Chain A
Amino acid sequence: DAGVIQSPRHEVTEMGQEVTLRCKPISGHNSLFWYRQTMMRGLELLIYFNNNVPIDDSGMPEDRFSAKMPNASFSTLKIQPSEPRDSAVYFCASSFAGGSEQYFGPGTRLTVT
């Protein structure tokens, strides 16, 4: 079975550009999570969805970040405009709603120069 799929795996962009990260959760899972991981701050939850509805976006750092889940099999995390401090590895994870066990994708390593 396919796990969580993320694209791209690596993204290098210049400050001020728009960045879009994509995620396909495991089929049948109805909760989706976006995390950011850095050496300084560890793994931080940005936002999560249950049944395509955003439940908690308190971890989204600022208005430059937005996330959507138009259907059960696809989500995007967008940064506009990007800044060098956004450089990190961004993970998407999915789970069954009501269950705590999360399955992570391979991550997108974002570098903003």
Chain B
Amino acid sequence: TQLLEQSPQFLSIQEGENLTVYCNSSSVFSSLQWYRQEPGEGPVLLVTVVTGGEVKKLKRLTFQFGDARKDSSLHITAAQPGDTGLYLCAGARGGNKLVFGAGTILRVKS
């Protein structure tokens, strides 16, 4: 049973399109992180959200933490081929142990 459910599992879009990836749980997390992983490399931390309702922006990426701290979304505006990769959400429930979602594979075609 996956504590963190990510959707969609796979997304293939054209350059310039917008997209949203979701990360949902029935559990409350003290913080939630988003990572991006490219083939042959380890996951790289993009952002950490801590407060319910928090919104963080990283250039064309917008991250939101749900009010109840159970879910999160990642929105990418005007996707580019360089955004291609595996996007992972990970929740912390106190301490430094993380629970990872299964990931969303994003492919942006030029």
Tell me the bound Cα distance from A42 to B2 in angstroms.
10
Determine the interface band of chain B, counting residues with CB < 8 A from chain A: 20 to 34
Determine the interface band of chain A, counting residues with CB < 8 A from chain B: 20 to 34
The reply on A99 being an interface residue by CB < 8 A is: yes
Tell me the bound Cα distance from A6 to B110 in angstroms.
34
In the complex, identify which listed stretch (B10-18, B39-47, B51-59, B68-76) lies at the interface while the others stay far away.
B39-47
In the complex, identify which listed stretch (A11-19, A66-74, A77-85, A102-110) lies at the interface while the others stay far away.
A102-110
Shortest Cβ distance from residue A50 to the other chain B in the assembled complex, whole angstroms: 8
Most chain B CB within 10 A, of A43, A48, A103, A107, is at A43
Q: Which of A43, A48, A100, A104 is within 8 Å of B44, CB to CB?
A: A104
Cross-chain contact A104 with B43 (CB below 8 angstroms)? yes
Task: Please name the 4 residue pairs, one residue from A and one from B, whose CB atoms are nearest each other, closest first.
Answer: A104-B42, A100-B92, A42-B102, A43-B100
